[in-house]
């Protein structure tokens, strides 16, 4: 009985330590998300500026870019033939980075399983890029925020996104037959996913890399969107 009691006490202490650690992490993340970086960037010239978007569904954020600019035609890297529902008239393309298993097993939030969510949060795991062709420019809303960027900022963002993909024979590696619909697909990605290094962290890091306004630390979607209200 004494051994059982000791074991229970040990488990309780472990749970307490874990709970305290998680609480400190969440509080720190909340505070740091309100600290802005790159706030002193120069105003964007109107003549050659490019409009991008950040979007949020309340949990996950994405970067939305024009399909074609003088600096890149994404169709050269993301083959339209992989997307049966998209064609050359589509104007924009969306990029998101996330946990590979979560992406594959959770096409709808109703499909979410507890073990998949816990694995995504606590266990460093393989990642994937979610790519979607979008038919027309987005309408600005509180969940779809436009950002005007310079050509230099845009090219830095393109570099950041491109380097997030795994490459084989100079091509991004498609994950076959895993898209949610006819206009999106998944590709193998670099780096491991875990909390707090998640989809929102990836978007925020991209904004930082491009010299755009961003949060100091952003594991939650509000931390990304807050700075573009």
pLDDT confidence of residue 90: 98
pTM recorded for the entire structure: 0.84
Q: Give domain status of residue 9, yes or no.
A: no
How much is the pLDDT for 36?
Answer: 82
Query: Phi-psi category of 157—alpha, beta or left, where left has phi over 0 and alpha has psi -120 to 50?
Result: alpha
pLDDT at 138 (0 to 100)? 97
Number of other residues whose CB lies within 10 A of the CB of residue 104: 13
Assigned domain for 113 exists: yes
pLDDT in tens, 29-57: 666 667 788 876 555 566 789 999 999 99
- Element of type H or E holding 105: helix 100-105
* pLDDT for residue 130: 97
pLDDT recorded at residue 22:
55
Predicted local distance difference test score (pLDDT) of residue 61: 96
Domain of residue 46: give its range.
Answer: 34-228
Q: Which residues contact 100 (CB under 8 A, 6 or more apart)?
A: 125, 126, 127, 128, 175, 186, 188, 189, 193
pLDDT at 42: 52
11 domain residue, yes or no? no
Residue 115 is predicted with a pLDDT of 64
Q: Is residue 12 part of a domain?
A: no
In a domain, 202, yes or no: yes
In a domain, 89, yes or no: yes
Q: What confidence score (pLDDT) does residue 185 get?
A: 97
Q: How many domains, the chain?
A: 1
User: Which residue, 91, 95, 115, is CA-closest to 105?
Assistant: 115
In a domain, 10, yes or no: no
Tens place of pLDDT per residue across the chain (229 aa): 555 566 656 556 665 654 565 555 666 666 666 778 887 655 556 678 999 999 999 889 999 999 999 999 999 999 999 999 999 999 999 999 999 988 888 766 666 566 656 665 667 899 999 999 999 999 999 999 999 999 999 999 999 999 999 999 989 999 998 999 999 999 999 999 988 889 999 999 999 999 999 999 888 898 899 888 8
- The token pair that represents 37 in the structure block: 């970086």
Domain annotation covers residue 25: no
198-216: b (≥16 Cβ within 10 Å) or e: bbbbbbbbbbbbbbbbbbe
């Amino acid at each position: 009985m004494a051994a059982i009691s000791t074991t229970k006490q040990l488990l309780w202490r472990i749970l307490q330590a874990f709970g305290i650690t998680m609480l400190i992490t969440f509080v720190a993340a909340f505070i740091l998300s309100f600290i802005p970086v790159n706030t002193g960037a120069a105003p964007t010239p109107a003549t050659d500026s490019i409009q991008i978007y950040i979007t949020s569904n309340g949990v996950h954020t994405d970067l939305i870019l024009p399909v074609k600019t003088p600096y890149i035609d994404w169709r050269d890297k993301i083959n339209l033939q992989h997307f049966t529902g998209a064609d050359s008239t589509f104007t924009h393309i969306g990029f998101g980075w996330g946990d590979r298993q979560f992406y594959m097993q959770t096409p709808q939030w109703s499909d979410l399983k507890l073990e998949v969510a816990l694995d995504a949060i606590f266990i460093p795991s393989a990642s994937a890029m979610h790519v979607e062709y979008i038919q027309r420019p987005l309408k600005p809303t509180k969940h779809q925020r436009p950002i005007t960027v310079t050509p230099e900022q845009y090219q830095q963002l393109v570099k950041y996104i491109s380097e997030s993909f795994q490459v084989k024979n100079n091509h991004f590696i498609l994950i076959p037959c895993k898209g949610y619909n006819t206009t999106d697909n998944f590709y193998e990605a670099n780096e491991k996913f875990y909390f707090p290094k998640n989809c929102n962290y990836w978007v925020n890091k991209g904004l930082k890399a491009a010299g755009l306004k961003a949060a100091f630390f952003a594991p939650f979607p509000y931390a990304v969107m807050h700075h573009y209200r």
